[in-house]
């Protein structure tokens, strides 16, 4: 490396991105562009950082494969932190292979974690777990180890396994202390707080109360028949009936679950399932059809009996019936659930993460914005959405040094 | 052109040193640029003998009396005993400079990505001439009328002797893969000393090829 690049890289490593920028601000050669990109990322200007790193990647020569690959990894990390999930996975995988082949095991592993975190973020738990199995965290320095344990904890929490989540968080806390990076420690703390924050709401026998993740895990392992409004399924510890694609049937099941062991009148069921204000004859006919369908769907778990007034749920065996709902129920709860991570999301990233169309997401965001529940920054494609400031939950950048250290 | 593998004779490791930039030799001690300071050590014992708190980002040279050190976009002239900066001149590459050598009353400055070596007047910084290379230039050294420089381009480094008139490569000592050269200086005898960038904290001694004198 040359003199000013060395000086700028030293400033960056010492936590002085402005000092680094000062030294290379007027230079447009590849290493200078890369350093400027990393410095801008450290200063939080992700749009500019991505642009600079893209230019750096193109400016590095064909024989500078390591430097180029590190630029790709840095670009991917910035994309992930700014919730731009459209970053091409193939480039990241190729960069990872290049780094591994050329002996940069550390940055290759870092690239792997970025891919896993992306999978986790979009809810591809199986794929994330498979990739995680291929990584042995033992040789990694503490900072990378924190990332590893957070991913392990993240998967465990989404799989409702609180004990392994707690253990991973304890290891992450230890690694963060050894790394001595305050932001990492804060990230571990905020993840740990999720275990102490209600993850769902329990509605049973007409009463409701918040549930911690651990309690959800206990409930799922119990004999109870659970009408799960977080996942749109009806289940017990052995059998799961998915009603994801049958919202009317789920609305009926939920109404019956909330009232259990009481019955629910036809009128109420019609209002809950069809949102009709008055129950006329055609509604009654339709209700009969839908109840028939629900009865068949729930056959492995419960019976549905007619009462003089309406219907009642009768679970097989002597089971309790409970309804599990999101902690805060809104019309656009799923959108809010993603935004609750405190990051700024683009509507296209939300649409990828939610598996919903951009139009649907945009309508939800507009509705939420109208009531002040979400805010946006930026314009056009750079527009990002977030919930009004909540404490914590940063995603710390562990950007690779872009240069092969000449 | 002669080509051979570089023979690494000895490695000197230094605790608390993150990167090794320029390397020089004052007749007794080897000096190297360690980012925020200049470090001198005895090449026989490997013990550190001096440390000067001076910004040292790239090449280092010695003219028999003063040390020269590239820091940011300047070349500092340093009194070795006191560590006092006697004077400064702008570096010819404006900060894109890497290696530094002293010979025949001139400073020879490697321009890393520009792939060239520039001869400058040490008093004024005036550029006297430039020599092209075809690889990124790291350290630069003159010994017995031979101009040597280190290269580093991605996965491969070498130390090469070039014709100072036209830049033609006369001889190459190839470094093992993954072993990089930053600074370069000879002890005037049978050794070269070179740095290792920020890939580790080592200075290496490499055997200088013997010559049959005409």
What residues in B contact A2, CB-CB < 8 Å?
A: 58, 93, 95-98, 111-113
Reading the block at residue A149, the tokens are 């344990």
Angle between helices A142-158 and A125-133 (to 10 degrees): 140
Sheet holding A321-325, edge to edge: A207-211, A200-204, A321-325, A225-228, A233-235, A240-242
B199 touches chain A (CB under 8 A): yes
Residue A394 has pLDDT above 50, yes or no: no
B153 touches chain A (CB under 8 A): yes
Q: What pLDDT, on the 0 to 100 scale, is given for residue A390?
A: 37
pLDDT digits (tens, 9 = 90+) for A3-36: 999 999 999 988 899 999 999 999 999 999 999 9
Q: What pLDDT, on the 0 to 100 scale, is given for residue A400?
A: 66
Contact criterion met (CB < 8 Å) for A63 and B72 = no
- Cα–Cα nearest to B90, from B80, B79, B77, B78: B77
Percentage of residues in chain A with pLDDT exceeding 90?
Answer: 42
CA–CA–CA angle A157, A158, A161 (5° rounding): 45
Burial class of residue A277 (count of CB atoms within 10 Å of its CB; 0-12, 13-18, 19+): exposed
Contact criterion met (CB < 8 Å) for A404 and B21 = no
Residue A392 has pLDDT above 50, yes or no: no
Determine the Cα–Cα distance for residues B207 and B186; give it in Å rounded to an integer.
10
A29, B113 Cβ separation under 8 angstroms? yes
CB atoms within 10 A of CB A69: 30
pLDDT tier, A403 (very low <50, low <70, confident <90, very high otherwise): low
Mean pLDDT over all residues of chain B? 92
Burial class of residue A125 (count of CB atoms within 10 Å of its CB; 0-12, 13-18, 19+): middle
Q: What pLDDT, on the 0 to 100 scale, is given for residue A396?
A: 56
Angle between helices A3-13 and A30-42 (to 10 degrees): 20
Residue A205 has pLDDT above 90, yes or no: no
pLDDT tier, A362 (very low <50, low <70, confident <90, very high otherwise): very high
Determine the Cα–Cα distance for residues B64 and B104; give it in Å rounded to an integer.
11
Lowest mean pLDDT among A30-44, A233-247, A334-348, B22-36: A334-348
Tally C-beta pairs within 8 A across A and B. 84
User: What mean pLDDT is predicted for residues B16-23?
Assistant: 90
Q: How many residues does chain B have?
A: 214
Determine the Cα–Cα distance for residues A295 and A107; give it in Å rounded to an integer.
55
Complex ipTM more than 0.95, yes or no: no
pLDDT tier, A398 (very low <50, low <70, confident <90, very high otherwise): low
Terminal C-alpha separation, chain B? 19
User: What mean pLDDT is predicted for residues A203-213?
Assistant: 88
pLDDT digits (tens, 9 = 90+) for A228-243: 888 788 999 889 998 8
Determine the Cα–Cα distance for residues A297 and A274; give it in Å rounded to an integer.
19
CB atoms within 10 A of CB A213: 21
Residue A401 has pLDDT above 80, yes or no: no
pTM of the entire predicted model: 0.81
Determine the Cα–Cα distance for residues B118 and A133; give it in Å rounded to an integer.
53
Residue A393 has pLDDT above 70, yes or no: no
Q: Which of A23, A404, A406 sits opposite B138 (nearest CB)?
A: A406
Q: What pLDDT, on the 0 to 100 scale, is given for residue B139?
A: 93
Q: What pLDDT, on the 0 to 100 scale, is given for residue A319?
A: 87
What residues in A contact B153, CB-CB < 8 Å?
A: 61, 63-64
What residues in A contact B98, CB-CB < 8 Å?
A: 1-3, 406
Q: Is the peptide bond before A261 cis (omega within 30 degrees of 0)?
A: yes
Mean pLDDT over all residues of chain A? 86
Residue A395 has pLDDT above 80, yes or no: no
DSSP A60-88: S-TT-HHHHHHHHHHHHHHHHHTT-TTS-
Q: Nearest-CA distance from A144 to chain B in Å?
A: 19
Determine the Cα–Cα distance for residues B82 and B85; give it in Å rounded to an integer.
9
Determine the Cα–Cα distance for residues B83 and A304; give it in Å rounded to an integer.
91
Q: How many residues does chain A have?
A: 406
CB atoms within 10 A of CB B168: 12
User: What mean pLDDT is predicted for residues B87-99?
Assistant: 95
pLDDT digits (tens, 9 = 90+) for A304-315: 999 999 999 999
B176 touches chain A (CB under 8 A): no
pLDDT digits (tens, 9 = 90+) for B150-181: 998 877 899 999 999 989 999 999 999 878 89
Percentage of residues in chain A with pLDDT exceeding 70?
Answer: 93
Q: What pLDDT, on the 0 to 100 scale, is given for residue B26?
A: 95
B155 touches chain A (CB under 8 A): yes
- Cα–Cα nearest to B23, from B51, B62, B77, B53: B62
Q: Nearest-CA distance from A8 to chain B in Å?
A: 9
Backbone φ, ψ for residue B191 (5° rounding): -125, 145
């Amino acid at each position: 490396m040359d003199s000013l690049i060395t000086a700028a890289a030293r400033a960056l490593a010492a936590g002085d991105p402005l000092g680094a920028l000062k030294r290379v601000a007027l230079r447009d050669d590849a290493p200078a562009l890369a350093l400027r990109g990393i410095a801008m990322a450290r200063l939080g200007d992700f749009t500019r950082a991505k642009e600079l790193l893209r230019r750096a990647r193109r400016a590095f020569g064909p024989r500078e494969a390591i430097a180029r690959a590190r630029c790709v990894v840095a670009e991917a990390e910035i994309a992930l932190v700014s919730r731009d999930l459209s970053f091409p996975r193939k480039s990241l995988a190729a960069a990872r292979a290049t780094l591994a082949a050329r002996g940069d095991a550390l940055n290759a592993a870092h690239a792997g974690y970025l891919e896993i975190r992306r999978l986790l973020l979009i809810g591809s738990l199986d794929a994330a777990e498979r990739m995680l199995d291929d990584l042995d965290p033992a040789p990694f320095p503490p900072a990378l180890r924190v990332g590893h344990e957070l991913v392990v904890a993240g998967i465990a929490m989404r799989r409702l396994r609180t004990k392994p989540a707690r253990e991973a968080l304890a290891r992450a806390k230890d690694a963060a202390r050894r790394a001595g990076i305050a932001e990492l420690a804060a990230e571990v703390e905020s993840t740990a707080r999720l275990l102490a924050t209600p993850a769902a709401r329990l509605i049973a026998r007409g009463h409701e109360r918040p549930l911690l993740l651990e309690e959800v895990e206990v409930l799922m392992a119990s004999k109870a028949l659970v009408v799960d409004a977080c996942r749109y399924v009806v289940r017990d510890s052995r059998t799961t009936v998915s009603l994801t694609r049958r919202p009317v049937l789920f609305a009926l099941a939920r109404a019956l679950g909330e009232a259990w062991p009481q019955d629910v009148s036809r009128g109420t069921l019609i209002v809950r399932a069809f949102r009709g204000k008055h129950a006329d004859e055609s509604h009654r006919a339709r209700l009969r059809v839908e109840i028939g369908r629900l009865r068949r769907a729930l056959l492995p778990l419960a019976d549905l009996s007619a009462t003089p007034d309406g219907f009642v749920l009768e679970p097989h065996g002597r089971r309790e019936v409970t309804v599990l709902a999101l902690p805060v129920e809104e019309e656009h709860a799923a959108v809010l659930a993603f935004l609750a991570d405190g990051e700024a999301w683009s509507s296209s990233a939300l649409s990828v993460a939610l598996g919903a169309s951009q139009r649907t997401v945009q309508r939800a965001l507009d509705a939420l914005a109208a009531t002040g529940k979400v805010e946006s920054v930026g314009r056009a494609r750079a527009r990002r959405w977030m919930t009004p400031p909540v404490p914590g939950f940063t995603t710390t950048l562990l950007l690779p040094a872009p240069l092969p250290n000449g | 052109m002669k080509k051979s593998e570089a023979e690494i004779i000895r490695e000197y490791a230094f605790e608390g040193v993150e990167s090794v930039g320029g390397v020089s030799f004052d007749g007794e001690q080897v000096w190297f640029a360690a980012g925020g300071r200049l470090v001198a050590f005895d090449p026989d014992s490997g013990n550190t003998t001096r440390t000067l708190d001076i910004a040292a980002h790239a090449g280092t040279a010695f003219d028999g009396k003063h040390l020269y050190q590239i820091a940011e976009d300047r070349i500092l002239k340093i009194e070795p005993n006191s560590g006092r900066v006697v004077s400064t001149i702008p570096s010819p590459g404006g900060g894109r400079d890497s290696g530094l050598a002293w010979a025949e009353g001139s400073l020879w400055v490697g321009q890393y990505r520009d792939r060239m070596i520039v001869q400058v007047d040490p008093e004024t910084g005036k550029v006297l001439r430039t020599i092209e290379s075809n690889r990124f230039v790291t350290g630069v050294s003159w010994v017995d009328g031979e101009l040597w420089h280190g290269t580093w381009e991605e996965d491969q480094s070498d130390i090469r002797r070039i014709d100072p008139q036209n830049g033609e490569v006369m001889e190459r000592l190839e470094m093992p893969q993954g072993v990089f050269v930053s600074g370069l200086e000879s002890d005037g005898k049978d050794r070269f000393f070179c740095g290792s960038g920020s890939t580790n904290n080592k200075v290496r001694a490499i055997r200088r090829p013997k010559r049959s004198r005409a």
